Amino acid sequence: MEEKMVAQWALVRAVLAILQWWGFNVTVIIMNKWIFQKLDFKFPLTVSCIHFICSAIGAYLAIKVLKLKPLIEVDPEDRWRRIFPMSFVFCINIVLGNVSLRYIPVSFMQTIKSFTPATTVFLQWLVWRKYFDWRIWTALVPIVGGILLTSVTELSFNIFGFFAALLGCLATSTKTILAESLLHGYKFDSINTVYYMAPFATMILAVPALLLEGSGVVQWVQTHHQQLDSSLLIIFGSGVFAFCLNFSIFYVIHSTTAVTFNVAGNLKVAVAVMVSWLVFRNPIPALNAFGCAVTLSGCTFYGYVRHKLSQQPGTPRLGTPRMGGNRVEMLPLVSDKLDEKV
C-alpha cells in the first residue's frame, strides 16, 4: 500500500513538474512576443540583456541567500577557459531566439526550433567527423520534411526572422556539443549553470545593446511615457519568468525519465503554438499546421530512436565513441535537458 502511494505521488510530482515547466516556458515566449508586437519595444538585445540580469540576480538569491541549491565550486581559471565560451554561445542562442520572435510568429519560430536535433547531428558529422547509426538519420527525415513544409506554407514568412531562428538552432547545437567537452567534470544543474553563465552573458551583451539599441530605447521611453509603468512591468516581468523557467527545469529533470521529457518537450511546443494563436490570432494554414505536426512527431520518434539505441548492450554513453570497423559510431548530443534555458 505504501509503495503504491509512493508511486502515485511520483506520478503526481512528475505531472506537476511538467505543467509548471510548460507554464513558465509558454509565458516567457508569449510575453516576449507581446513586448515586440504589442508594446512596440523592438529591441531584442535589450530584452535579452534584461533576461540575463534577472536570471543572474535570481540565481544568486537562490544559491547564496535562500540556499535552495548548493554552489558548485569552479576554479577561477576554468571560469574563463570553459564557462566563458559557453556563455558566449549561450548569449548568441538567446539573442537569436528573441530576434526571430520579433519578425516571425511564435508558431513558426517554435517549429524551426524543433530543427535542433538535425543541426546537432549534422554539425557532429561535418565538423567532428562522427558516425551515426542509420536509424538516427532516418529519424531526422520527418523533422526536416516538416520544417520545409511549414516554411513553404507560412503566410507570415520573414527571411530575416527565419534565418535568425535557424542560426539559433545551430547555436543551441553548438552549445550542447561544447558543453560535453568544456564542462566535463562539473555536474551542473540548471541553477548553477545560470549562476555562472548569466553574468558573463550580461557582460558580453551589455555594450552591443547600449551601442546598437540605446538611442532607440530612449526614444521609446519618451514616446510611451503614458503607459511606461505597465510596459516596464511586463518587460522586467518577462525576465523574472525567464529565471523561473530555468528553476523549473531542475524539477522536471529530477521528476521524469528521458523519454517522458522528450515527449513533454514536443507537446510543450504544441501548447505554445496553440496559446500563441489564441493570443495573437496569426493565421495558420492547414498545410502549415500539418507540417508542424509532422515535425513534432519526427522529434518524438527521434527521441524514441535515441532511447532505444542507448539501451542496447554495449552502447556507449553520449559523447563516448565506439569503434565499428574504421568508423566511430556515436549517439548524438541532442535534447540536452538544459537546452530550454531562456
Between residues 253 and 126, the one the model is more confident about: 126
Residue 327, pLDDT above cutoff 80: no
Q: Assign residue 129 a region: left if phi > 0, alpha if psi is -120 to 50, beta otherwise?
A: left
Task: Render pLDDT for 58-81 as a digit per residue (tens, 0 to 9).
Answer: 999 999 999 888 998 888 888 888
Q: How far apart are the first and last CA of the chain?
A: 41
Strand order in the sheet with 322-324: 131-132, 327-330, 322-324
pLDDT grade for 339, boundaries at 50, 70 and 90: very low
pLDDT tens per residue across span 226-275:
889 999 999 999 999 999 987 787 677 677 776 677 677 778 888 888 88
State what percent of residues in the chain have pLDDT above 90. Answer: 33
Tell me: pLDDT of 337 over 60. Answer: no
Q: pLDDT value at position 321?
A: 37
pLDDT per position as a tens digit, 272-294: 888 888 888 888 888 888 998 99
Furthest C-alpha separation in the chain: 70
What pLDDT sits at residue 189?
A: 78
At 259 the pLDDT is 64
Segment 42-69 shows an average pLDDT of 93
**9-33, pLDDT tens digit by residue?**
877 888 888 889 899 999 999 999 9
The residue ranking higher by pLDDT, 286 or 185, is: 286
Report the pLDDT value the prediction gives residue 51, as an integer from 0 to 100. Answer: 94
